[in-house]
Amino acid sequence: MKIKVVKRYGTAFKDRLYIPAIIEGLKITAKHLFKNVNDIKSVDVLEYPEEQPRDISERYRGLHRLTHREDGSVRCVACFMCATACPSSCIFIEAVERTDGIDEKMPERFAIDLLECVFCGYCVEACPCDAIRMDTGIFSVIGSKREDFVMEKEQLLAQTGSFGDTFSRCHNAGEKQDD
């Protein structure tokens, strides 16, 4: 069997003296300290409430939204895939039969409890019709009581995506296919 011998550090006389290493460390911290004291504006931090994050990309999992069809009606077909995939069981769907002939089923109620949600994005992955997305770019939701954080269907439909795409990219059976 091949044995790899790992070299141990810290046993040399210079290391056991501690003082040279401490001075090296102090040099590094003092360098940062003096540089930043001299020019506080060079510190690369966000002055948060005034400066908003600049790094919210298309892949950022923000607040959820429900997408629309081209005619503006809800895309969701109430298949319960997202609620099944949800690890924190925070999606509440009540299905109802769809009578306008566009599809067979739609949600009567579609609510997400944001206090339970862990923003894992599994619901987005699970959705077969691209009906739920997390591309709003909203990272902070404010409310004064717990009930404020339960997002109902109307609130989720009212959100718009931050990156173009207003309508769902998905095409269910029964709709006109592009290709």
Partner 1 sequence: MSTAALIVTLGSIVLGALLALMMIPVLVWLERRIAGLIQDRVGPNRTNILGFRLGGVVQSFADVIKLVFKEEYYPGHIKTGRWLYIIAPAITFSAALLAFMVIPFADTVQFGGESLRIQPLPVDYGVLWYLAIGALGMIGIFFGGWLSHNKYSLLGTQRAGSMGLSYELPLGLAVVSMMLTYNTIDFNEMVRWQSGTVLGVVPAWGILVQPLAFIIFVVAIFAETNRAPFNVVEGESEIISGHMTEFSAMKFALYFMGEYIAMNSASAVVITMFLGGYQLPWLSTEMLNIHFGIVALALMAVLPLFLFVIIRWMRRNNSVRTTVSTDGGRDFETKVLTYALIGMGVVLELILGCFVFFGGGGTGTAIAVILLQIAVFVFKLMCFNIFFIVVRWTLPRFRFDQVQTLGWHYLLPLSLLNIFVTAIVIVGVGL
Nearest to 126 by CA among 177, 71, 170: 170
Tell the smallest beta-carbon distance from residue 122 to partner 1 (Å): 33
Stretch that binds partner 1, among 41-49, 70-78, 87-95, 98-106 (CB under 8 A): 41-49
Tell the smallest beta-carbon distance from residue 18 to partner 1 (Å): 8
Of 6 and 28, the one with the shorter C-beta distance to partner 1 is 28
Question: Do the beta carbons of residue 40 and residue 146 sit within 8 Å?
Answer: no
Number of shown-chain residues binding partner 1 (CB under 8 A): 21
Of 140 and 177, the one with the shorter C-beta distance to partner 1 is 140
Binding mask 42-71 for partner 1 (x = CB under 8 A): -xxx-x--xx--------------------
Q: How far apart are CA 144 and CA 146, in angstroms?
A: 7
End-to-end CA distance of the chain: 61
In this structure, the number of other CB atoms found within 10 A of the CB of residue 117 comes to 20
In this structure, the number of other CB atoms found within 10 A of the CB of residue 75 comes to 23
Of 37 and 142, the one with the shorter C-beta distance to partner 1 is 37
Q: How far apart are CA 174 and CA 52, in angstroms?
A: 43
Q: Which residues bind partner 1 (CB under 8 A)?
A: 19, 22, 25-26, 28-30, 32-33, 36-41, 43-45, 47, 50-51
